[in-house]
A = this chain, B = another copy of it.
Amino acid sequence: MTATVSSPAERRRHKIRARILSAAEQVFAREGAAGLSIRRLAENIDYSPAAIYKYFKSKDELVDELKETFFELILENVHRIADRSTPFAERSRDCVATYIRIATEKPHHYAAAFAGESPEGEGPVDGEPGFGATKKGQAFNVLRGMIAEGVENGVFRSEVDPSLAAKSLWASMHGLTMMIVHIPSFPALKANQKTLSRENFILFHADQLIRGLEAHHG
């Protein structure tokens, strides 16, 4: 699909861009956006701070690329689960759980992806044109498709609107993810004397959310 249309100069440029992103990624993964400074980054790759601006027009743009790559990872994993042929209920739960699992593996990435540090600038949202283009939007669409399937199956209540329910479900997934990301010791679980692992908590949460959608058959 992608032929070698790039000139040597373009390839070189792309390579250096990747080098910068790679160095940025390493710092970002450990210390987050705040810990990643242009000056430190420049030093790491033996460049002057100003040189970075020949490749990225701002720190935000650089960080945005790290975030998009990260969401690509989430999308891939969720997609893989969604395309399985396991029983529907189980598959739904696994989608939810996978999102949370993968997301919490890179806490700084996830936190930064939603907090443009101040509540304002964000990409397009559902309904707007560019939404399906972002990885975030694609992940949401997978979720909605899954719920629509459940409604058709009769597994989920017929009143639920997939688009609405998907947003609600997404918010809940997002919530646990954020909790784990922001409060490292969450969930501090000594529930009923038993110490539950984080994994078990995620599964409980996912189960709870799917239950809210299910039709009562019996």
Which chain B positions have C-beta within 8 A of A126? 187-188
- Copies of this chain held together in the complex: 2
Q: How large is the interface on A (under 10, 10 to 19, 20 to 34, 35 or more residues)?
A: 35 or more
Which chain B positions have C-beta within 8 A of A189? 127, 163-164, 167
A152 → chain B closest CB, angstroms = 15
| A167 and B201 contact, Cβ closer than 8 Å, known pairs A118-B34, A122-B182 | yes
| A164 and B128 contact, Cβ closer than 8 Å, known pairs A114-B182, A174-B175 | no
A138 → chain B closest CB, angstroms = 16
| A184 and B118 contact, Cβ closer than 8 Å, known pairs A175-B172, A191-B161, A208-B168 | no
Residue of A164, A170, A188 ringed by the most chain B CB atoms within 10 A: A164
Are the CB atoms of B118 and A31 closer together than 8 Å?
Answer: yes
A106 → chain B closest CB, angstroms = 11
Are the CB atoms of A127 and B175 closer together than 8 Å?
Answer: no
Which chain B positions have C-beta within 8 A of A211? 211-212
Known contacts A161-B191, A211-B211, then 17 further A-B pairs from the complex at CB < 8 Å, ordered by chain A residue: A108-B118, A108-B119, A114-B178, A117-B117, A119-B184, A125-B183, A126-B188, A127-B189, A165-B208, A167-B186, A167-B189, A168-B204, A168-B208, A174-B178, A175-B177, A212-B212, A216-B218
Query: A: which residues have CB within 8 A of B?
Result: 31-32, 34-35, 107-108, 111, 114-120, 122, 125-128, 161, 163-165, 167-168, 170-179, 181-192, 196, 201, 204-205, 208-209, 211-213, 216, 218
Q: Could you jot down 28 A-B contacts, CB within 8 Å?
A: A32-B119, A111-B115, A115-B115, A117-B117, A119-B181, A119-B184, A122-B183, A122-B184, A125-B188, A126-B187, A128-B188, A164-B187, A164-B189, A164-B196, A164-B201, A164-B204, A167-B189, A167-B201, A168-B204, A170-B175, A170-B179, A171-B176, A171-B178, A172-B172, A173-B175, A174-B179, A178-B178, A218-B218
